[in-house]
């Protein structure tokens, strides 16, 4: 299967698109939010320079190398970039990682589910993934609810693939055959 180019995906309320360097300020906005960071375990993105580095050296490179990466999520009605949803290549596993992160003002509104479902539809349609995995802190009940709604099954509690930093997460997976039956 040829590697598809990153798409622009529209849902009823959202536009999912590849990040650009012009998105750096918005990446700092959601990447430096304390409420968001306490649920992700990431170190955060606090400067325009760091945001530009992540966009250029991670997301844009992954689009080019794998055909997928985290995607900017924009609210159609306001044109505001509110976070990301997308797939991340995990060399340690034979499956990509579904991830999402949003400004707290958008939590509890179905945005994560809407964006992640669009990513799953696109991912399973355009790639030969047998499964897609996801990870969540055990105390991130909102994220666990999103994963349940999408059909993910809990696997185990362990470190994030490739990391041994003392942080453990719930591991989930969604098999292609189970997703296609929905």
- CA dist 170 and 154 (Å) reads 7
Task: Give the Cα separation of 26 and 61 in Å (integer).
Answer: 19
pLDDT tens for 153-166 read 999 988 777 666 67
* Structure confidence by residue, pLDDT tens digits, 112-144: 999 999 999 999 999 999 999 999 999 999 999
How many helices, marked H, and strands, marked E, lie in the chain? 7, 8
13 within domain boundaries: yes
Distance CA 60, CA 66 (A): 10
The secondary structure of residue 60, as a DSSP letter, is I
For the chain, how many structural domains are there in total?
1
What's 93's DSSP letter? S
Residue 182 in this model has a pLDDT that exceeds 80: no
H/E stretch holding 10? strand 9-10
Domain assignment of residue 96, yes or no: yes
With 0.85 as the threshold, say if the pTM is over it. yes
Query: pLDDT at residue 1 above 60?
Result: no
| DSSP letter for each residue of 31-47 | HS-HHHHTTT------S
- The per-residue pLDDT for 44 is 86
Q: Is residue 20 part of a domain?
A: yes
Strands (E), 18-167: 70-75, 80-88, 97-102, 131-136, 153-159
Q: pLDDT (tens digit, 9 = 90+) per residue, 44-71?
A: 899 999 999 999 999 999 999 999 999 9
Q: Is residue 2 part of a domain?
A: no
Q: Residue with structure tokens 């649920």?
A: 39
Which positions ≥6 away from 31 have C-beta within 8 Å?
37, 42, 44, 45, 46, 51, 54, 101
Q: Strands 168-175 and 131-136: what pairing?
A: antiparallel
The mean predicted confidence, pLDDT, of the chain is 92
Domain of 34 in residue numbering reads as 9-181
Is 173 inside a domain boundary?
A: yes
Q: For residue 67, tell me if it sits in a domain.
A: yes
Does residue 108 sit within a domain?
yes
Which domain CATH number covers 143?
3.40.630.30
The owner of tokens 């479902």 is 117
> For residue 4, is it within any domain?
no
């Amino acid at each position: 299967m040829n590697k598809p180019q990153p798409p622009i995906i529209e849902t009823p309320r959202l536009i999912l698109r590849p990040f650009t360097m012009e998105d750096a300020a918005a990446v700092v906005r959601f990447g430096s939010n304390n409420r968001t960071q306490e649920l992700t375990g990431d170190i955060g993105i606090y400067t325009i320079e760091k945001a530009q580095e992540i966009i250029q050296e991670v997301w844009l490179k992954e689009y080019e190398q794998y055909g997928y990466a985290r995607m900017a999520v924009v609210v159609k009605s306001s044109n505001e970039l509110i976070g990301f949803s997308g797939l991340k290549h995990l060399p340690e596993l034979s499956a990509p990682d579904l991830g999402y992160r949003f400004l707290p003002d958008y939590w509890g509104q179905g945005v994560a589910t809407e964006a992640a479902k669009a990513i799953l539809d696109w991912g399973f349609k355009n790639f030969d993934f047998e499964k897609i995995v996801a990870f969540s802190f055990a105390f991130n009940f909102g994220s666990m609810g999103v994963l349940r709604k999408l059909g993910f099954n809990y696997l185990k509690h362990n470190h994030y693939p490739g990391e041994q930093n003392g942080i453990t997460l719930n591991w989930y997976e969604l098999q292609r055959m189970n997703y296609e039956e929905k």
